[in-house]
Amino acid sequence: MTPDSTPDDFPFIVPFIVPGRCTGDLPRLAHATSDGIHLQDRRAEHRPLKPVVVTRSMERNSRNPGDLVQALLIRTVVHGWTPAVKDWPTPTPAERDSVVDHAAKAFMLCRSERWREAVSTALVGSWCDPLWQTGQLPHSALGALRAEARSVHRQLVPVWRRRTRAGRVLSLDADLGGLSLHDLVAADVDLLAHTQGGVFADERLNAVLRGLDPAERTVVFAYAESEGTTWTEAATYAGAVEPKSFGERVRRKVKRLVAEQRRRAEQRHPGPPMS
């Protein structure tokens, strides 16, 4: 592939080019096998490959490489490392964000600002060190990368949004898409504790949750805890088979249940008569 090639012209055949480990390193030739990636002895001094073009081809080309190869290439783009190759471009921040979101999607992780930071941090970690130390990178390295991304994400989650042994602690300001937990509970309560039995301190919220099945409640908790920026992503995090339709169904159902709770509350405590 030449610098003037377009993403659709790139078939990504073996052997492929792996950008160097650090800034200034020359690219290396590698090949993928059933047990992972192997570096070849030859360097790729005379076969420059633009990292931004590579990552765009991964999104468009149906013959794209495996996730392990994608992770290696995205790692270089994310951190802006420049190999010792003439005219190698430096990706823009927008391009880096785009490929990180693509990585999160490929790795079956949610996409949000917090997840983007977690995936970026994990990519610069030690998950691919064996490739440079031994010349081989097993498929298990991808699992290590996913685990590290999840670990970093947990560290980035505010304490009041983390799970506890008893269940969850949610802020009253937790967003549920146009409504909040504050709409359902007493104004003088600072935190809402979710006990192991799934019971909250306020009966109004319990009434809403009782109207949901376990899978639907899992999506609500995922959305409230910012595990996804949309109901579709929350449903994906919850393991829904068809996250788009399931997430939309949960959103509509929660909205309907909350409206019913508000209607009943207004009947019990009607406002002052109009003068």
**pLDDT, tens digit (0-9, with 9 covering 90-100), for 130-143:** 888 888 888 788 87
pLDDT surpasses 60 at 121: yes
Residue 173: predicted pLDDT: 54
What is the Cα–Cα distance from 22 to 29, expressed in whole angstroms? 15
Identify the residue with better confidence: 171 or 29. 29
User: How does residue 53 score in pLDDT terms, banded at 50, 70 and 90?
Assistant: very low
Which one, of 61, 58, 101, lies nearest residue 78 by Cα?
A: 101
Residue 174: predicted pLDDT: 56
> What are the sequence ranges of the domains in the chain?
7-156, 161-267
**Terminal C-alpha separation, the chain:** 79
Q: Average pLDDT for residues 203-223, to the nearest whole number?
A: 77
Q: Tokens 């709409």 sit at which residue?
A: 183
Residue 33: predicted pLDDT: 76
